[in-house]
């Protein structure tokens, strides 16, 4: 199965929520694990950082088609 590439500006919906999250930026930690900084669309004060692997997991997040 091909792995989806994650890029700033892409939007995702958490599978157990209706909230839409937008990728603000990407950063690798000290161990080389890539993380995405997400902000909630419509509420930029709500932000979180998750691993890119979690964002790619279709059980956790689905890409939002624009």
Residue 51: inside a domain, yes or no? yes
Two tokens, residue 34: 């890539």
Helix (H) or strand (E) holding 56: helix 52-56
- The pLDDT tens digits of the residues spanning 2-31 come to 457 899 999 999 999 999 999 999 999 999
Q: Is residue 2 part of a domain?
A: no
For residues 48-66, average pLDDT: 94
Q: In terms of residue numbers, what domain contains 21? A: 11-63
Residue 5 lies in a domain: no
Indicate whether this model's pTM tops 0.75. yes
Total domain count, the chain: 1
Q: Is residue 58 part of a domain?
A: yes
Listed residue (61, 57, 58, 54) closest to 21, CA to CA:
61
In a domain, 4, yes or no: no
């Amino acid at each position: 199965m091909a792995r989806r590439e994650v890029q700033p500006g892409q939007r995702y919906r958490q599978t157990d929520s209706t909230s839409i999250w937008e990728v603000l930026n990407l950063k690798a930690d000290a161990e080389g694990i890539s993380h995405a900084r997400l902000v909630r669309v419509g509420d930029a004060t709500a932000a979180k950082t998750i691993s890119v692997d979690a964002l790619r997991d279709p059980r956790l997040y689905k890409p939002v088609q624009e």
